[in-house]
Structure formats: C-alpha cells, structure tokens
Amino acid sequence: MDPFARVPLGGTDVTVTRLGMGLAPIGGLYSAVGDRTGVAAVDEAWQRGVRFFDTAPLYGAGLSERRAGTALREHSRDGYTLATKVGRRLTPGRPDPADIWAEAGETVLTWDFSADGVYASLHESRERLGVDRIDVLHLHDPDDHFEAAAGEALPALVRLRREGVIGAVSAGMNRSAMLTAFARTGQFDCFLLAGRYSLLDQSGLADLLPECERRGVSVIVGGVYNSGVLADPVPGATYDYRPAAPNVIARAQAMERLCDRYDVPLRAAALQFPLGHPAVASVLVGMRSPEEAADAAAMASVKIPGGLWRDLVAAWLLDPEVPVP
C-alpha cells in the first residue's frame, strides 16, 4: 500500500494521503518546539510525500495553525488537504499552569459549539493559517457537549459544506460510541478516531468502523502509537497520555519481539495496522521535528510480510477476526 497515494474521504471530492501529519506536536505539546523546528517538520513531511495535514486551535493556542500556515504557504493550495477543528475558541486570559502546551502564551480556550461559534472559529483558523478554505472541518472532542454539537454546530458545518466553504464534515474524538451516533445522522463524510483502533486497542471495531463501512463514511485514525508505548515499549512509556500499566508494556514488548523476527520495527506495524480496515482512509502521526517526520514516512513505507500478522494472531496478540493490511 502506497502511503502517499491519495484516496477520497467518503463521497466527497476531498482526498488525503494514506499517511497524514498530525500537527499537535508542533504547537509545543509538553515541551517547546519553536517556529523554526515546527516549520521544518512540516517541510520535511512535504518532501517525503505527505499531503494531508491536521491541526486545531487547541494545539498550542493557535501556534500549530500559524506554523503550519507558514510552511504550507510555499505550496499551491490545491496541492494538499488541510483539516482543522471547531468547538473551542481562543480568548485572552491566564492559562492553567498545568497546561500541556508549553508555548501557549496568555490565552485560554473556551468551549463553544454554537453556530456562531463555528463560523467565528473557522474564520479565526483561516486567518492563522493564511488560507482561504479548509478542506475538512472536525467537531473537536464534543464528549460533554453532544446536544450543542448535534443541534447547533453540525447544521452549521452542513451549511458550510453546501456553500462550498468546506469540503467535508467530520468529528474527532477518542471515544467511538458518540462518533457512531453521529454517523447514524447521515450528515458526516468522515471521522477522526484517536487511540481506539490500534494494535493495543481495537474497540472502534465494536461500533464505529462497521457503521462507517456500511455508510461509505471514511475513518481517519490517530493515536496509532497510543501516545508512545507502541513506539518504544520501555518501562515508563505512556499509554493514552498516562504511564502505561506493566501488562500493557508487556503486551507491546511481546509484539515487538515478533516484529524483530521479521526485521520490522514495531512502529511500522503499529502505523500500518489500521489501514487494513476498508473504512480507514488515512492514519495521522504526530511529528514534532524533521527527524520524526522522516521516521514516520520511513515506517509507513516498510514492507510487512503477511507472516507477521499471522504470528501476532497465533500468539493471541491480535484477534483473528481483525482485518490486517
């Protein structure tokens, strides 16, 4: 499977590369990145063949959008696909000292899934990105805001799609049940599912993925490394942004040992695994530096023998009913 091939999202004209760049890290996730490194990371991903970029106002209080815009303005707007998110607005204020964004500055984010909030947030994102259009617009983490997201924000997104302001309507979160409820409205073109369809967690198979396959809705999978443990399963690794339990690390290490038999990095297997499901159009990998961008492109290009997937099943590390690439 060519990681740089472009495939459509749902029934839209929007296309994405199989490997996409998640832009949260260049917003200074956990530690400062700086403008130069953030822009260079996007440049490296571009040079490697990535043409799908996913950001949000949340990521570094707009820093991710600004840095991505600086890098991408060197290229034709028709040459890449750009996604951002609505549901949080940036306002002046004193950030929480425990904030995970190291460079956020004097801003806070407030929840806003109103129609007016959607229009304002989209306008602000386009200003930060320096673009005239957004291809994919996600409702961002509407976990505790279902009624407002479904009743106010979703009709606004549908209107924006109808008017040609955006190309695809989406929602992104790390729980599959609400996304499945959204899918049943018949109004969505795609979804971003984070962390719930990985080598360690295939819970998205219980509801969202089959529903999307039936409806012709595309799924973009994020969190393929489950925040770190599938990239490097050492003691102290994180799983869903918390210290991984010993049994989780042991399971990931068992997978890594089988990968080693085939000279396949665990990162490559973790990155490519979701693409085995017919509903999955793309995987998003967070990249905070040129080195990480180069590594993601390399892992996406590794040839994985079918025997590895069979061995994972034989070792009870993968369910035999789970589709593989």
What was the pLDDT predicted at 97?
Answer: 67
Tell me how far apart the alpha carbons of residues 269 and 44 are, in angstroms, rounded to a whole number.
22
pTM, two decimals, is 0.96
pLDDT tens for each residue of 15-36: 999 999 999 999 999 899 999 9
Tell me how far apart the alpha carbons of residues 62 and 44 are, in angstroms, rounded to a whole number.
21
Tell me how far apart the alpha carbons of residues 250 and 144 are, in angstroms, rounded to a whole number.
33
**Positions in the chain whose pLDDT score sits under 70:** 97-98
Q: Where are the beta strands (DSSP E) in 133-237?
A: 134-140, 166-173, 190-194, 218-222
Phi, psi at 66, each rounded to 5° = -65, -45
What was the pLDDT predicted at 94?
Answer: 80
Q: Return the sign of the alpha-carbon dihedral for residues 119, 120, 125, 128.
A: positive
Give Cα 83 distance to the centre of its chain. 10
Domains of the chain: 6-249+267-303 (3.20.20.100)
119 in active site: no
Tell me how far apart the alpha carbons of residues 12 and 136 are, in angstroms, rounded to a whole number.
10
Q: Which of 30, 59, 119, 241 is labelled catalytic?
A: 59
Amino acid type, 218: S
CB-hemisphere CA count at 13 Å for 56? 23
Residue in 81, 106, 114 with CA at minimum distance from that of residue 15: 81
Tell me how far apart the alpha carbons of residues 286 and 60 are, in angstroms, rounded to a whole number.
14
Residue in 67, 85, 96 with CA at minimum distance from that of residue 122: 85
125 C-beta neighbours (distance < 10 Å), count: 23
Tell me how far apart the alpha carbons of residues 56 and 147 are, in angstroms, rounded to a whole number.
21
pLDDT tens for each residue of 84-115: 999 999 988 887 766 888 887 888 889 999 99
Give Cα 87 distance to the centre of its chain. 16
pLDDT tens for each residue of 40-79: 999 999 999 999 999 999 999 999 999 999 999 999 999 9
Give Cα 262 distance to the centre of its chain. 28
Three-state DSSP at 192 gives: strand
Which spans in the chain are helix H? 35-48, 63-72, 115-129, 146-148, 154-162, 176-183, 208-215, 246-261, 266-272, 290-301, 306-314
